[in-house]
């Protein structure tokens, strides 16, 4: 039982990060009906911006790892990546809005590769060490071991989720986002500036991905420019699992995936599945979902009018 709880905690922590990334995928899909392949690489960018800003701030201000430092780094990274997200959208995706989705899908793959290999060019192939920006300690209750970093992940995720829910449900912009996801033409006829809303969506999603990047780097301090590949794909699976386009679904999907992955690895001897199959878990989940319920857990299916 203890082992199960431990794995659960680990899984929720991992799942929270997946959830944050998945939210970006799902929001963009909801508004543009398009899978932003490059989203996982914004996650990577977030980690690197965090690395450099962390170094800069702690060097400039002679600061020790602290909550203040961490929050500042988080804010900087989220802001920078939000801007990057908006820029990418304007430059690479917006010109292709009237084209078939295949074109923009391929472009997204191109942008993703550009960020990854450009990152290798610019940051170096890595791996790079993410210096601590937060004091960390472990806590033990009984046989359970929880690190402060894990708590940070969970609490930051909760805060961000609440903020996101507020934005989507209570603000004008959020309502506009939802309107766009139902019917873009009607939305623009109601006076909504679709371009602005789309840019906002990208910015918001990218900010969340950046936060995920920082949280990841805090827990797994070795980062490299290709680090966004796997978590990105897994987060996408999480978004599909929850129902692509559905915001609570993305959060739910992320958590479920994180827990599942951790449990499979944790109980690998019992299940007779070698832990090196950990990455395959997400893909198996993906295949199962696509075959049996492509609309996901919380999504609804749509069909083509003939």
Partner 1 sequence: MKIARAKIYFLLALLVSFAVWYWIPMDQYVREIILTIGINIILAVSLNLVNGHTGQFSIGHAGFMAIGAYLSAWLTTVAVPAWWPNLDISDGSLTGTLVFLGAMLAGALLAALAGLAIGIPTLRLRGDYLAIATLGFGEIIRVVIQNTDVVGGSRGFSVNNGYTTIFWTFLFAAVTIYVVANLVNSAYGRGFVAVRDDEVAAESIGVNTTKYKVIAFVLAAFFAGIAGGLYAHFKQYLHPDGFNFLKSIEVVVMVILGGMGSTFGVIAAAVVLSLLPEALRFIPQAYERLFGLQLPHLIDDLLKNRMLIYSILLIILMLTRPQGLFGGMSGRPALLFKKKTPRADGLAS
Contact residues toward partner 1 (CB under 8 A) are 31-35, 92, 95-107, 109-114, 116-118, 120-121, 180, 183-188, 194-195, 198, 229, 233, 236-237, 240, 274, 276-277, 279-280, 283-284, 286-287, 290-291, 294, 304, 306
d(CA 229, CA 232): 5
Q: How far is the CB of 138 from partner 1 (least distance, A)?
A: 32
Q: Which is nearer to partner 1, 41 or 128 (CB)?
A: 41
Q: How far is the CB of 118 from partner 1 (least distance, A)?
A: 6
Give 67 or 196: the residue with its C-beta nearer to partner 1.
Answer: 196
- What is the nearest approach in angstroms of partner 1 to the Cβ of residue 106? 5
- Can you name the residues that pair with 129 across neighbouring β-strands? 222
- Using H for helix, E for strand and C for coil, what is the string for 132-160? CCCCCCEEEECCEEEEHHHHHHHHHHHHH
To partner 1, the closest distance from the beta carbon of 92 in angstroms equals: 6
Beta carbon of residue 19, minimum distance to partner 1 (angstroms, whole number): 19
The nearer residue to partner 1, 97 or 172, going by C-beta atoms, is 97
Contact present, 53 and 241 (Cβ < 8 Å): no
Q: Between 252 and 281, whose beta carbon lies closer to partner 1?
A: 281
Q: φ, ψ for residue 168 (rounded to 5)?
A: -70, -35
- Whether 259 and 16 have beta carbons less than 8 Å apart is answered as no
User: DSSP assignment, residue 33?
Assistant: S
CB of residue 2 vs partner 1: minimum separation in angstroms?
29
> Helix, strand, coil % (nearest 5) of the chain?
75, 5, 20
Handedness of CA 164, 221, 50, 66 (dihedral sign): positive
By C-beta, is 58 or 116 nearer to partner 1?
A: 116
Distance CA 231, CA 219 (A): 14
Element containing residue 175 per DSSP (H, E): helix 172-182
Question: Cβ closer to partner 1: 77 or 112?
Answer: 112
């Amino acid at each position: 039982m203890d082992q199960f709880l431990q794995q659960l905690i680990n899984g929720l922590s991992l799942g929270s990060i997946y959830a944050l990334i998945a939210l970006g995928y799902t929001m963009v899909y909801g508004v543009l009906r398009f899978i932003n392949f490059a989203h996982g690489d914004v996650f990577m960018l977030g980690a690197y911006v965090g690395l450099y800003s962390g170094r800069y701030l702690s060097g400039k201000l002679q600061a020790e790892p602290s909550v203040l430092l961490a929050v500042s780094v988080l804010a900087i990274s989220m802001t920078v990546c939000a801007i990057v997200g908006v820029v990418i959208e304007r430059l690479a995706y917006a010109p292709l809005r009237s084209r078939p989705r295949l074109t923009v899908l391929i472009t997204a793959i191109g942008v993703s590769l550009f960020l990854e290999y450009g990152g290798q060019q610019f940051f170096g192939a890595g791996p790079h060490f993410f210096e601590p920006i937060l004091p960390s300690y472990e806590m033990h209750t009984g046989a359970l071991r929880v690190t402060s970093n894990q708590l940070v992940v969970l609490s930051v995720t909760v805060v961000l989720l609440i903020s996101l829910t507020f934005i989507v449900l209570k603000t004008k912009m959020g309502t506009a986002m939802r309107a766009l996801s139902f019917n873009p033409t009607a939305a623009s006829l109601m006076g909504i500036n679709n371009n602005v809303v789309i840019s906002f969506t990208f910015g918001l999603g990218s900010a969340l991905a950046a936060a995920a990047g920082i949280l990841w780097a805090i827990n797994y301090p070795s980062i490299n420019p290709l680090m966004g590949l796997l978590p990105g794909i897994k987060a996408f699976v999480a978004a599909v699992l929850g129902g692509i386009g559905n915001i609570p679904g993305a959060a739910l999907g992320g958590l479920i995936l994180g827990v599942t992955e951790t449990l499979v690895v944790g109980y690998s001897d019992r299940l007779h599945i070698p832990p090196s199959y950990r990455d395959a878990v997400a893909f198996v989940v993906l295949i199962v979902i696509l075959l049996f319920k492509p609309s996901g857990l919380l999504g609804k299916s749509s069909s083509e009018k003939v």
